[in-house]
Amino acid sequence: MSRPVLKIGAAALRAAARPVEAVTAEVQALVDEMVAAMYAERGIGLAAPQIGVGLRVFVVDLSSGREAGALRVCINPEWGERDGMQLEEEGCLSLPGFSATVARPARAVVHALDREGARHTVDGTGLMARALQHEMDHLEGTLYVDRLRGLSRSMILNRIKKLDRDGKW
């Protein structure tokens, strides 16, 4: 059974994640647990801090498990290039039921280790670029709502506060 996905308000979502020292059997088990949690929640990405593990690991699968070879595992990811601009709707498993338009670069490149510890590069555009940037934010303790300003941000945070007060969050 996988750990539950934490919701906004959990301290683990606001802490910068630590680098993975070695890709061990425990790290591979963590990746398996993350993939299972991501698929169970019907997500396309999940970072370790979202299940309460403060390590620099995230997984992305734009196909939600429907396409062989679509899963990307990134351990100790580092930024490569980012360029262009896209404005698209974005959601998060840690803010279920909410989404907002977020500005992000249209292309993003991440260099990381895969689940076996081999170096690889993920070069994404469109939704993949957005997913890479979203998950990298999680590793720094940032949520997409932090990138919003004004009314969009206030409406989401106020609604979450109300749900929390009513015991529904």
Mean pLDDT of the 38-63 span: 97
Query: 3-state DSSP helix/strand/coil percent for the chain, to nearest 5?
Result: 35, 30, 40
Q: For the segment 57-82, what is each residue's pLDDT rounded down to a tens digit? A: 999 999 999 999 999 999 999 999 99
State the virtual CA torsion across 123, 72, 46, 81 in degrees, nearest 10. Answer: -20
- Give mean pLDDT, residues 137-147: 98
Q: Which residues contact 85 (CB under 8 A, 6 or more apart)?
A: 103, 104, 105, 106
Q: Taking the model in full, what pTM does it have?
A: 0.95
Contacts for 155 with CB less than 8 Å, ≥ 6 apart: none
Mean pLDDT (whole number) for 93-108: 97
Is the pLDDT at 23 greater than 70, yes or no? yes
Average pLDDT, the chain: 96
Parallel/antiparallel/unpaired status of strands 86-91 and 72-83? unpaired
Q: What is the pLDDT of residue 111?
A: 98
Which structural domains are found in the chain, ordered by start?
Answer: 11-165 (3.90.45.10)
Res 162: pLDDT: 96
User: At residue 1, does pLDDT exceed 70?
Assistant: no
pLDDT > 90? residue 148 = yes
Active-site option among 21, 67, 89, 135: 135
Is 135 annotated in the active site? yes
Beta strands in the chain (DSSP E): 45-47, 57-60, 72-83, 86-91, 99-104, 107-113, 119-125
